[in-house]
Amino acid sequence: MASNVETLIRGAVVKGIGKVADFNRKRLPRPTDAHPFLTGIHQPMTEELTLEGLRVEGEIPAALTGRYLRNGPNPAAAPDPASYHWFTGAGMVHGIRIEGGKADWYRNRWVRGTEACAVLGEPVPPGPRTEGGFDAPNTNVVGLAGRTFAIVEAGGKPVELGYELNTIAHNPFDGTLVGSYTAHPHHDPATDEVHAITYRGDEPNKVWHVVMDSNAHVIREEAIAVSDGPSIHDCAITTNYALVFDLPVTFSMKMLLAGYRFPYAWNDAHPARVGLLPRKGSGASIIWVPVEPCYVFHPANAYETADGKVIVDVVAHETMFAESKRGPDSQKSRMERWTIDPVAVTTTRAVIHDHAQEFPRYDERLTTRPYRYIYSVAMPDGESIEWAMADTRLFKHDLAQGTTAIHDFGPGRHPGEFVFVPRRADSGEDDGWLIGLVVNMNDQTTALVILNADDFTGSPQAVVNLPHRVPPGFHGNWVAD
Ligand SMILES: [Fe+2]
């Protein structure tokens, strides 16, 4: 989810820091247990596959023509487990192509950055990169203006991929992006703009509101003043605002100097707040509203009420990166509704569903508008401090009824993020499919599962079988042709 900012900072701030970090990295305590993000379900793949004519159970809807794509960390060279952090592995994109009720192919391809190219013996594709830094975006893969981009936060540049997932170029949106990007752009269906909040590992005092037009060209990069170098993973938008989650996970010089590859940690001294930035306003016009300390990777939707408040639903973690230096480590998260009052300057938190979960998705045609359903992935609740992706369930939250339905894939079958795809452009909310990958640890295989969103607890509409384990990565999307 974040890039290797250590090398970025080395070049940009003080060259000596890098030498100190290199020296200290060799002295990091040797792990006494297996790295949870390099073994078991997370063990990286070691080869690129092209599989054709995939075995399908059930009936793939004829209306689906395109690719399901998913990105995640998959080191190309074996990393040192003493300093490896899940968020810093080189990106690998997995894709399954569907047309006419058939699954034509599966491909997995490393994003061609320095590491993968060195291992594969290939030249690094052209285009601007963070020289010597993280150049294999590992967090999300999106379709923008008919093109495919692998993306990451914290300073890594976007990488453009071909239809069959080959790396075309390191490409900051045809040169229109001056600064850094994010793994979580948000399309506004009302304006056809794509909004993001971005940050850089080497700039602790600014984040940016970045807007692209419908051609995936940047038309705004507005700086917003912050302090301590907060790690801002995602954002949300309403009709009038972009939401900035300035929460207490911040850059740690101590960790950087110690040699850790991902130098961010929980910081009790950093005030938690949400910024409401007028979408066309200056960075100075942001309205900061305090919130009780917690961390949010991912919001679901957000919208404004008639009386000027902002509603945003989020997965809130009690803390994050407070102990583990290997990956996310909260013991407790829950789905919450935040009501942000820019006049009273208060944030009210209400619990929607009190169980650990992550990767919330919704019908993105409703971005900035009231909505009813959130689909998320269950996580072990209060058991494991590092994410084993060990639960077997998806949640479907009905925000109107206040209920949660559960789809359980059964023992040993672990879902990742599921994305909502409407059946037709004009179909209603929930009138569509949920598509995602489910790892089967019983036989080390993976299924692309298509559920009927409106028959959430029922049998899948279709299952595409892959004969190998796809490590649970981060984010995926359906990219229609
Ligand atoms: Fe994310």
Q: What is the structure's pLDDT at 156?
A: 87
Radius of gyration of the chain (CA): 21
pLDDT digits (tens, 9 = 90+) for 58-111: 999 999 999 999 999 999 999 999 999 999 999 999 999 999 999 999 999 999
Q: What is the structure's pLDDT at 15?
A: 60
Q: Can you list the residues of the chain whose pLDDT is less than 70? A: 1-15, 131-133, 383-385
Distance 448 CA to ligand 1 centre (A): 20
Q: Which CATH architecture describes the domain 5-480?
A: 6 Propeller (2.120)
Distance 404 CA to ligand 1 centre (A): 22
Distance 295 CA to ligand 1 centre (A): 13
Its pTM stands at: 0.96
pLDDT digits (tens, 9 = 90+) for 384-423: 667 777 899 999 999 999 999 999 999 999 999 999 999 9
Distance 284 CA to ligand 1 centre (A): 27
Q: What is the structure's pLDDT at 128?
A: 93
Distance 183 CA to ligand 1 centre (A): 6
Q: What is the structure's pLDDT at 20?
A: 86
Distance 184 CA to ligand 1 centre (A): 7
Burial state string for 295-330 with b = 16 or more CB within 10 A and e = fewer than 16: bbbbbbbbbbeeeebbbbbbbbbbbbbbebbbbbbb
Distance 476 CA to ligand 1 centre (A): 10
Distance 457 CA to ligand 1 centre (A): 26
Using CA atoms, how far residue 86 sits from 176, 297, 321, 334, 472, in Å, is 30, 15, 12, 22, 11
21 phi and psi angles, rounded to 5 deg: -65, -45
Distance 112 CA to ligand 1 centre (A): 21
Residue 213, both tokens: 């037009």
C-alpha span between 256 and 90 (Å, rounded) = 19
Distance 275 CA to ligand 1 centre (A): 19
